[in-house]
Amino acid sequence: MDEQKTVVVAGGGSGIGKAVARACAQAGYAVAVLGRTGARLDATRDELVALGARSIAIVADLADEPQVERAFAEVDRFSPRLDVLVNSTGVFAYRPVTEMTLETWDRVIASTLTAPFLCAREAFRRMQRQRSGRIINIGSTSAKRVRPDAIAYSAAKHGIWGLTQSLALEGRPHRVNCTCINPGRVSVERVHLDGCDEPAMSVDEFA
């Protein structure tokens, strides 16, 4: 019998990440969901278990290196292999450049670029050893077409595109594939909280 494949979804407690985790569970994967909010992660895990999947919820600040290392060590205990990482972390902050504080800039970059880097690095180490794996970064059309008042988010998503290309190049000799999906606007809670009302697809349509 083939060994069950395992996916880690960073940012799996809500929005796109939760929808992707649900789709992976329905496809037969064991699913580890990572993120900062325990209640949301637990709710996602319970939903996946109800679908018949093996699942674990791991609480961690994914922009914090030691916490990410501990989270992936817990993934190691959950499953002997890691087949797919989906990076779906990020926050918005719509501000003109003259009103963008360093604190807000750092918060957006940490969640939207640093967290995916740290998770990708941990996943890459494991995939390199097993000589297989796939890293999927959730980017944005903001990596190609900037929006007004979105300087930090656009910069971070440009960074995700560069991160993806570098990982793909480094991964090729090790059979580690890295791709970036750049959706348009997706209807998630944080979009509405930041006051942007452009039309958006649902998370389930995206997943």
Tracing tokens 């990076």 back to the chain, one arrives at 87
* Sequence-ordered alpha helix ranges (H) in 89-150: 102-109, 115-130
Query: What pTM was estimated for this model as a whole?
Result: 0.87
Average pLDDT for 70-89 = 98
Helix (H) or strand (E) holding 30: strand 30-35
Q: Which fold has domain 6-200?
A: Rossmann fold (3.40.50)
Query: In this structure, are residues 129 and 152 in contact, taking their beta carbons and an 8 Å threshold?
Result: no
Closest CA to 14 of 31, 39, 32: 39
User: What residues does each domain of the chain span?
Assistant: 6-200
> How far is it, in rounded angstroms, from Cα 134 to Cα 83?
6
Residues forming the active site: 153
Beta-carbon contacts of residue 99 (< 8 Å; ≥ 6 apart): none
Tracing tokens 């494991």 back to the chain, one arrives at 126
Closest CA to 183 of 196, 198, 165, 201: 201
Position 189 pLDDT exceeds 90:
no
Give the whole-number percent of the chain exceeding pLDDT 90: 81
The per-residue pLDDT for range 114-148, each reduced to its tens digit, is: 999 999 999 999 999 999 999 999 998 877 787 88
The per-residue pLDDT for range 17-49, each reduced to its tens digit, is: 999 999 999 999 999 999 999 999 999 999 999
DSSP state of 145: S
